[in-house]
Amino acid sequence: MRISHWIDGKPWSGVAERTGEVFDPATGEVRAQVDFAGAGQIEEAVGAAARAFPAWRDTSLAARSRILFSFRELLSARKDELATIVTAEHGKVLSDAAGEIARAIENVEFACGAAQLLKGGFSENASRGVDVYSIAQALGVVGVISPFNFPAMVPLWFAPNAIACGNTVVLKPSEKDPSASVFIAELFAEAGLPDGVLNVLQGDKVAVDGLLSHPAVKAISFVGSTPIARHVYETGTRRGTRVQALGGAKNHMVVLPDADLDLAADAAVSAGFGSAGERCMAVSVVVAVDPVGDELVAGIAERMAGLKVGDGREPDSAMGPLVTAAHRAKVESYVDAGVAAGAELVVDGRAVEVGGGGFWFGPTLFDRVTPEMPIYTDEIFGPVLSVVRAGSYDAALELVNANAYGNGTAIFTSDGRAARRFQNEVEVGMVGLNVPIPVPVGYYSFGGWKDSLFGDSHAYGPEGFHFFTRTKVVT
């Protein structure tokens, strides 16, 4: 099977100079070849978007909203089909894929309100006989660079808002699971989106750098690891491109002595091992505040024993494989490093046996992890959960705030005063109170602090509309 670009309203029909392999993570077999863009395809995609921009910018808000409403209905009707595509290429279980698409639909629904969200301000008689008003206008061609872990949701964090605001889009999905973006483009075309308004450019670093350096691309939205997010932000802003770059994470879940430990253990398992830990909002560190550590670790380990690792298409699988063999090897190297550093390996996922040749790695639990260990300092992006012991609330807070990342965090407690204090004092962009993965609903905005975000605009929601427009004031 061949997966290619979507340019100017149709599949690209040329011959690619370079291609990549797309695997089925549950079998380890190659399921498709994906075309990689070169300079010519980058120019074609950006050129199509640039040509489509003037007419789309001048399309009425009502017409834009009708297309988005139609797209929302098509996406909802075919969500199971899209979930199957996601599972086949990413490996996550079908229920996780379905949840991803449900959150994507929330973002589309928010974008459908463009007419309300793009209203400006008006001041009558600001000076004698002089009125002043503001309008929000589209930027032009915008690039969206999305990661492998949410191949449907993350493109739909950005593309609907950008399109609703009157921009045209070039989407560069991950080369590891590229089919979902083409499926989305096909649905947009069926919904009536004009040719060239949404283009999909497959590829690797060549495509990324091509979008970053192209003079017609006015803004870039990126989600990925922190080193690449920093590169995207610095490269783009150096030439005057507007950039929002969401980076990595090391999300802490603080458990106080008064917490419901059954609830906390359930949350740690679901948040640590859902989607095989391949999500930037996964809980990767549990901070157990004395004296709950032993009981909490025992509860987490007990629940882990009931997790079935298997093909994501099987209804009884709780956790699927990792996305590639190379990523599996990277996760295993971190477990080896944790053992070498002296952490207590409570549950070892390295030797999980599923069969079928897939990229399998079982849920893994470390206890008595310390902040200098690589399994604590680095984003592993796999099913590895570390427990750190803390002597007090203040020590737990200091640990979270000292971390370089500031994406998501959670506290589990029965004390409302402690919860309120934590939400005020913690230096993290998204906070859960007895909620382990505090991803905002579609009418708020997603984004962290510190090394988890480069730029001053979060993704989707109100800040998404702000990012994809610029204000003009008329007197």
Q: Which residues share a beta bridge with 339?
A: none
d(CA 475, CA 461) in angstroms, rounded, equals 29
Residue 356 confidence (pLDDT) above 90:
no
Summarised one tens digit per residue, pLDDT across range 362-418 is 999 999 999 999 999 999 999 999 999 999 999 999 999 999 999 999 999 999 999
Give percent of the chain with pLDDT exceeding 70: 100
pLDDT at 129: 97
Does the active-site annotation cover 112? no
Determine the Cα–Cα distance for residues 82 and 434; give it in Å rounded to an integer.
31
Token pair, residue 356, equals 């079928």
Helix axes 61-77, 94-111, angle to 10 degrees: 160
Q: What is the pLDDT of residues 292-336, one digit of tens each?
A: 999 999 999 999 999 999 999 999 999 999 999 999 999 999 999
E-assigned strand segments in 339-404? 344-347, 364-367, 384-390
The two three-digit tokens of residue 403, written as one number: 């971390």
What pLDDT is attached to residue 72? 98
Integer-rounded Cα Rg, in Å, for the chain is: 23
What stretch of H or E contains 255?
A: strand 251-255
Instruction: Please write the tens of the pLDDT for every residue from 268-299.
Output: 999 999 999 999 999 999 999 999 999 999 99
- Read off the pLDDT of each residue in 9-29 and give the average, rounded to a whole number: 97
69-85 pLDDT, tens digit per residue, is 999 999 999 999 999 99
Number of C-beta neighbours around residue 313 at 10 A: 16
Residue of 118, 170, 245, 280 marked active site: 280
Strand residues in 139-213 grouped as ranges (E): 141-145, 168-172, 198-200
Type and span of the H or E element at 253? strand 251-255
Both structure tokens of 412: 């589990």
pLDDT digits (tens, 9 = 90+) for 402-455: 999 999 999 999 999 999 999 999 999 999 999 999 999 999 999 999 999 999
Give the whole-angstrom CA distance, residue 162 versus residue 118: 12
C-alpha distances out from residue 366 to 276, 360, 380, Å: 16, 19, 13
Here the tokens at position 50 are 């640039």
**If phi over 0 gives left and psi between -120 and 50 gives alpha, with beta otherwise, what is residue 284?**
alpha
Phi, psi (5° rounding) for residue 219? -155, 150
- In this prediction, residues 46-69 reach a mean pLDDT of 98
- Give the residue carrying structure tokens 């949404």: 198
Dihedral angle, C-alpha 48, 52, 53, 54, nearest 10 °: 140
Q: Among residues 411, 400, 415, which one has the least CA distance to residue 434?
A: 411
Q: In what order do the strands lie in the sheet with 469-474?
A: 122-127, 130-138, 469-474
Region of 30 (left: φ > 0; alpha: ψ -120 to 50; beta: rest) is: beta
